[in-house]
Structure 1
């Protein structure tokens, strides 16, 4: 927990942020003064920037509820952020009155978008599904497929929202565990980091190509691929083609994705119509 010392001597004392006894930030009180009004007002832009810095130090991201491999719900976990309203008031008291001189940073809970109650509702009904096969003997490609499937699994797309495969999966790198495997580049087979993930995006495309889902962006490979019928693929590449669809349902949807025993499976779940 961070402690802020709001002490000053005349107009030049520091504002220090302490973390376990070590100073990690130091600002002058006069840094927040607007000189052209004779030091009567706080520079709100600078104060906002400082609150951004403080928030980064204490912020804990909330964790959405999700389904485990057996379909049981794992409860959500709230996160933590700086309570900017309370901190602004305390800082104003310090700035104008010189007190308090020390305070614990006020925190507020940050709640996840997907809680257990919502997840229970939107996992009631399968509205789309698709399955493709791959060779588990190609260990590098298999691992890439597994990682991409894990990245999109349990992702919730709310009404009116768009899902981007590249944004959700992120860059495919060695640091994330992706390996070199066959890819199609300009109609020719080659090897690159993340080879094989197009099978995941193609399986997803076929699973969400249903009423209520709008295909926003999709590109085919420059040659046919063996895991889906011709023209039913969705190639993706970091800084390149993406696969994007929009949920035009009035209800959120949940993506379930897993790869095992040579099968890539995706289910699209939602709630029963009311």
Structure 2
């Protein structure tokens, strides 16, 4: 710059900076042209020119002469220039770049098609490595570097991998129950509950909760009034029929060898399933829960046909077992016969107001028949309380 005035030197440096104002960031086929003006980059050109012109002039005469002589002989003096940029705008640019290049990972999935198990492969996602990208941009601004740069990314691993899900290769257990399709409201509720608990993937040690799946599906608003059992009495309530779905899934879980964590029977034996094998549910406090006790994932698949609901649980053929479910009525409890007077009936007449029913205690067992010696596992005890038979006798005298 010895042959240039300060103004000429400033102008020349600014020309160079303008030519190196941009660089390209690349990711695959994508290109992003970064302009240093995006972050209000400012180089202190006048300060560096003033500092350069002061060399050989800012000290005593002898020192200045020596400095100029050394420079003429080829020595160099490295000057540190100053620069500024807007940190807030750099953060904003990184956020925009992050959103633009972000790719969500795609999970491997399981589906059942025409009775076959179909597993899709996963795809890894990626996101901008903001910390590295920030360092790269600051370095390129500092070094006035305009060479292309590869955008640094971090790969995102999907939650479900084909290598794991492909181990699902057989049916572990299956169960079906039948219902009356002419009861349209109850049939509607069965279909909704079956859909809400369908296509459920359970990884090792994960827990299936019937109520959580119902709640997460937001189907409650579509439930209709249908027969329900409340405190040992037949009544009507929204969602009647859900328990048939939970009972069907429960039995599929039993046959699949899954660990039963929580099951509660109805207060009245259910007509669609034998005693000791029903699983009632009530949103908020009665739930069906079981866990995947295997080292490989399992998949719950429900189907509803015209008059039956089927639940099938798929898993690894290494976990398939020959299982039998056995129930034992350990106690039959007789009901009482109660007689009541009624002024609604004429003297000498009677009627049965409540038929009543016997009560039962039932134990449920799971028998593993694949072992050399069959292993019997106790599952639960169900209690169905008896209901009194009530007969009304008339006490109203006949009018004369």
Give structure 2 stretches of 5+ with no counterpart: 1-29, 41-84, 320-400
Aligned: 1:87 with 2:134: no
Q: Counterparts in 2 of 1:242-257, with a 5 A limit? A: 242-257=287-302
Higher deviation after alignment, 134-143 or 57-66: 57-66
Aligned residue number for residue 113 of structure 1? 160
Whether contact under 8 Å (1:219, 1:241) holds in the other structure is yes
Whether contact under 8 Å (1:63, 1:79) holds in the other structure is no
Aligned residue number for residue 178 of structure 1? 222
Whether contact under 8 Å (1:180, 1:195) holds in the other structure is yes
Q: Paired residues, what number?
A: 234
Deviation sequence 1:9-63 (CA, Å, 0-9, x none): 4556434369xxxxxx89xxxxxxxxxxxxxxxxxxxxxxxx8xx69x8646636
Higher RCO, 1 vs 2 (CA within 8 Å, ≥6 residues apart): 1
Q: Which of 247, 265, 275 lines up with 1:220 in the alignment?
A: 265
Partners of 1:180 and 1:81 in 2: CA distance: 45
3-state SS of paired residue (1:249): coil
Question: Shift in Å at residue 202 of structure 1?
Answer: 0.9
Question: Shift in Å at residue 229 of structure 1?
Answer: 1.9
Question: Shift in Å at residue 215 of structure 1?
Answer: 0.9
Aligned residue number for residue 138 of structure 1? 183
Partners of 2:306 and 2:271 in 1: CA distance: 17
Distance 1:65 1:253, change over 3 A: closer
Partners of 1:211 and 1:129 in 2: CA distance: 8
3-state SS of paired residue (2:277): coil
Distance 1:106 1:12, change over 3 A: closer
Aligned residue number for residue 254 of structure 2? 209
3-state SS of paired residue (2:318): coil
Aligned residue number for residue 240 of structure 1? 285
Aligned residue number for residue 24 of structure 2? none
Question: Shift in Å at residue 198 of structure 1?
Answer: 1.7
Aligned: 1:160 with 2:160: no
Partners of 1:236 and 1:60 in 2: CA distance: 36
3-state SS of paired residue (1:146): helix
Partners of 1:149 and 1:232 in 2: CA distance: 18
Q: Which of 102, 112, 123 lines up with 2:169 in the alignment?
A: 123
Deviation sequence 1:200-255 (CA, Å, 0-9, x none): 11111112124742211122233333222233222223333221112223433232
Whether contact under 8 Å (1:65, 1:76) holds in the other structure is no
Whether contact under 8 Å (1:257, 1:265) holds in the other structure is yes
Give structure 1 stretches of 5+ with no counterpart: 19-24, 27-50
3-state SS of paired residue (1:16): helix
Over aligned residue pairs, what C-alpha RMSD do you find?
4.0
Whether contact under 8 Å (1:171, 1:238) holds in the other structure is no
Question: Shift in Å at residue 94 of structure 1?
Answer: 4.8
Q: Which of 8, 11, 24 lines up with 2:39 in the alignment?
A: 8
Partners of 2:286 and 2:93 in 1: CA distance: 45
TM-score, with length taken from structure 1: 0.66
Whether contact under 8 Å (1:132, 1:203) holds in the other structure is yes
3-state SS of paired residue (2:294): coil
Partners of 2:136 and 2:237 in 1: CA distance: 62
Aligned residue number for residue 194 of structure 2? 149
Whether contact under 8 Å (2:186, 2:225) holds in the other structure is yes
Distance 1:223 1:80, change over 3 A: farther
